[in-house]
């Protein structure tokens, strides 16, 4: 959704996953349960383009997969943290082995291991968005 057309009173969440079904399911779930606006990207480079195009200060949460191409989740999240350091980040993965080393410097809110209960993501995202709203 173009930035100028969204309701600025609703939180903005970016979901990054190379699997279309997961992006679609998370988008529907988060929008329905939290009333937020969800942008989706199929790759790290696409997500970074969306982030650059967004009005500064409007992005409230990033939810990213670990294994993607051509840029993996940790690389994307490091770049996202560099350009948007105040935006909380959640990592999803179906491959938890070696995760602690790969993500030690990412400042993640939480890591969710796939498959996960979507309610768990809704709960964490809801707490993060409520805290950001209260801080404004």
Count: domains in the chain: 1
Residue 55 in domain: yes
Residue 3 in domain: no
pLDDT digits (tens, 9 = 90+) for 102-131: 677 788 888 888 888 899 999 999 999 999
Residue 2 in domain: no
pLDDT at 7: 62
Residue 1 in domain: no
Residue 67 in domain: yes
Tracing tokens 């349960």 back to the chain, one arrives at 33
Domain limits for position 59:
8-135
What CATH number is given to the structural domain containing 45? Answer: 3.40.50.2300
pTM: 0.90
Number of neighbours of residue 9 by Cβ within 10 angstroms: 8
pLDDT at 64: 96
Residue 21 in domain: yes
For residue 47, is pLDDT > 80?
yes
For residue 1, is pLDDT > 70?
no
Mean pLDDT, the chain, whole residue set: 89
């Amino acid at each position: 959704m173009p930035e100028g057309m969204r309701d600025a009173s609703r939180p903005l969440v970016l979901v990054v996953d190379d699997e279309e079904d997961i992006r679609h399911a998370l988008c529907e779930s988060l929008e329905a349960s939290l009333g937020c606006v969800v942008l989706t990207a199929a790759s790290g480079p696409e997500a970074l383009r969306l982030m650059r195009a967004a009005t500064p200060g409007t992005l409230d949460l990033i939810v990213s997969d670990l294994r993607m191409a051509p840029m993996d989740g940790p690389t994307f999240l490091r770049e996202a943290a560099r350009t948007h350091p105040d935006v909380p980040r959640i990592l999803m993965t179906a491959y938890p082995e070696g995760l602690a080393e790969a993500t030690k410097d990412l400042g993640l809110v939480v890591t969710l291991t796939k498959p996960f209960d979507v309610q768990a993501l809704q709960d964490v995202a809801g707490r993060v968005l409520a805290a950001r709203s209260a801080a404004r």
